[in-house]
Structure 1
């Protein structure tokens, strides 16, 4: 499994412990929700500020406002063609606003690490095809997210 993490912002402190947390959440999420993959995979996580995620949100969703996390799945109905032998299957990219993460942690009364874990798990689930368009999907996705986080000690 390859996990690429890139901190593209300077407004919120991002430590090696935060990077390790993201890696552990991605690994656990894939173990619990992506076991059916049966192949090596890669995931990219990009950390940005509100300005950058607003631009992405506007360009890709038509919403000119900041959001907390965006996921860009590689496997949404497109033929990837043949990957070179031994190359991991790219699941896609997760973009997280660390400014939103920090604000939401304060709003919800829990740690920045809990919120970062939540947003990471949520993003991975989207890469795996999970959605929350209906109340039933929302409940299932929230339950799976909480299961992922509980195994890492990131309960509310």
Structure 2
């Protein structure tokens, strides 16, 4: 797995954020039975930068906690069958890794939401990473039935890593 983590803000987290992100990514890949080595980019930024990205891509002129940019068009969530048929679109030609997508997280939101929800910033970062990973696997939460499935998957990842509220 190639996990590229870029820290693009002066706001500091006082814990090993790289380890947390890597653990959640690996557990998510295992739980969703991804049969490939993957390439994934994670950017940790501030509210101003994520607000600009949110406005550019979603026409929402406000900061958000996490943005997910999946590279795969799944027939159904986590259906990895048939991806090799479109190898040029989904795999890095140099490494053969599946190009899963990009995750952008606001460090400011991690800190504020952790306090709001009464848990650690480590737990909030883990949750946002798990949430975004489910989006990269094609899950969504626009409909109630989808939301229930996605939340259960996120919870299972965090529970298996013993990351609790």
Q: Same fold, TM exceeding 0.5?
A: yes
Q: Quick one: distance in 2 between partners of 1:80 and 1:122? A: 24
Q: Is 2:101 the partner of 1:101? A: no
| 5+ residue gaps, structure 1 | none
- State the Cα distance separating 1:85 from its structure 2 match: 5.7
Q: How many residues align?
A: 153
Q: Is 2:63 the partner of 1:66? A: yes
Judging changes above 3 Å, is the alpha-carbon distance between structure 1 residues 26 and 83 closer, same or farther for their aligned structure 2 residues?
Answer: closer
Pick aligned residue for 1:38 from 10, 35, 40: 35
Contact 2:91/2:99, CA 8 A, preserved across alignment = no
Judging changes above 3 Å, is the alpha-carbon distance between structure 1 residues 74 and 24 closer, same or farther for their aligned structure 2 residues?
Answer: same
- RMSD, aligned CA: 1.8
- State the Cα distance separating 1:107 from its structure 2 match: 0.4
The SS at the match of 2:5 is strand
Contact 2:54/2:64, CA 8 A, preserved across alignment = yes
Contact 2:71/2:90, CA 8 A, preserved across alignment = no
Q: What's the counterpart of residue 13 of structure 1? A: 13
Q: What's the counterpart of residue 87 of structure 1? A: 96
Q: What's the counterpart of residue 140 of structure 2? A: 131
- State the Cα distance separating 1:81 from its structure 2 match: 6.6
- State the Cα distance separating 1:153 from its structure 2 match: 1.3
- State the Cα distance separating 1:12 from its structure 2 match: 3.0
- State the Cα distance separating 1:84 from its structure 2 match: 2.1
- State the Cα distance separating 1:25 from its structure 2 match: 0.4
Contact 1:12/1:99, CA 8 A, preserved across alignment = no
Judging changes above 3 Å, is the alpha-carbon distance between structure 1 residues 82 and 57 closer, same or farther for their aligned structure 2 residues?
Answer: closer
Q: What's the counterpart of residue 159 of structure 2? A: 150
Pick aligned residue for 2:44 from 47, 54, 58: 47
CA offset digits 1:36-69 (Å, max 9, x no partner): x322111111000000000000000000000000
Contact 1:117/1:149, CA 8 A, preserved across alignment = yes
